[in-house]
Amino acid sequence: MQTKPFRIGTRGSPLALAQAHETRDRLMAAHALPQEMFEIVVMSTAGDRITDRALSEIGGKGLFTQELEDKLLSGDLDFAVHSSKDMPTRLPDGLVLSAYLPREDVRDAFIGRAAPTLMELPHGAVIGSSSLRRQALIRSLRPDIEVITYRGLVDTRLRKLAEGQVDATLLAYAGLRRLGKADVVTELLDPERFPPAPAQGAICIESRIDNAAVNDLLAAINHADTFAAVSCERAFLAALDGSCRTPIAGLARTEAGRIIFSGMILTPDGAKTHRVNQDGTADDAALIGAAAGEKIRAEAGTAFFDSWA
């Protein structure tokens, strides 16, 4: 029987802490454990420390996870809580994404200062975004708009917007809801027209494969539909070698034991796009995502991916 507190690793941003607290609270409820049985361990990652450059220039998604994963492997942490869309498709040997919490709203939120919607922005307006996917989608819909790289915590981005550094920005609606800031949104973007990043809106929990006690603990809060959907989306991403250097969108949903997936790839300038749809049984979620990735890669052709170099 566990006598010392479970150590939960997390980044120190307000959103990351909200996610860690939600995970802890769900575990307390599921196992009737007191708060004292959980210790939240805050760690700084390279992605948090380097905010003046695009992630694609400094190493991609692993910058938000490496320090936490090192501590997992050493045994200093029992498990770590992440935003699923921050996770590389390949994990270090010995680690696994063992559970997902119920998924939040997957949509992107537009926050406009110069206009309330993306399509109403004046010609030549400036949008700030750190996501290559969002940048490419904006350029596809509004090629007249200037898109600049725009990183930082949610409050930092909102402050820059209020100061007039940009005319608008886009953030994940899920994160704004978790932070109690949904009221800043001026438009919610249709996921059919403006599809989300793979795994957007989902909180995942990473642990050691060989830590049976912790994995049994986490199994009680795993949301099966979210697990299947995000596994499909991550397999699609992996089939395309997806990283922060690539504009890729993907969304899977479960319906009566089936997975229905839609994916999209874009050139960074938004001028060329390809879409793919795939479905099958939820038990084959990862296979469906991988098949969709191979299908869209073949349809797009080698030349399409040269723009991602």
pLDDT at residue 193 in the model: 96
Average of per-residue pLDDT across 130-137: 94
Residue type, 47: G
CA contacts within 13 A on the Cβ side of 249: 28
Q: What tens digit of pLDDT does each residue of 222-233 get?
A: 999 999 999 999
Mean pLDDT of the residues in the chain: 92
Active site residue 86: yes
Mean pLDDT of 51-72: 68
Mean predicted confidence (pLDDT) in 135-139: 97
Rounded to 5 degrees, what are φ and ψ at 159? Answer: -65, -45
pLDDT confidence bin for 218, thresholds 50/70/90: very high
**Residues 86, 108, 167, 225: which is the catalytic one?**
86
pLDDT > 90 in the chain, percent: 83
> How far is it, in rounded angstroms, from Cα 190 to Cα 243?
23
| Domains by residue range for the chain, with CATH | 1-101+202-222 (3.40.190.10), 108-188 (3.40.190.10), 224-300 (3.30.160.40)
Does residue 207 sit in helix, strand or coil?
A: strand
Pick from 40-54, 196-210, 288-302: least confident: 40-54
Q: Which residues, 6+ apart, have CB-to-CB distance to 158 below 8 Å?
A: 111, 169, 181, 184
Q: How confident is the model at residue 304 (pLDDT cuts 50, 70, 90)?
A: confident
Report the C-alpha gap between 26 and 222 in whole angstroms: 10
pLDDT band at 62 (very low <50, low <70, confident <90, very high): low
Dump pLDDT digits (tens) for 92-119: 999 999 999 999 999 999 999 999 999 9
The residue-averaged pLDDT of 292-309 equals 86
pTM over 0.85: yes
Among 194-198, 251-255, 303-307, name the one with the lowest average pLDDT: 303-307
Kindly list the distances between the CA atom of residue 175 and the CA atoms of 83, 118, 288, in Å, as whole numbers in the listed order: 9, 20, 27
Asked if pLDDT for residue 58 goes beyond 80, the answer is: no
What was the pLDDT predicted at 220?
98
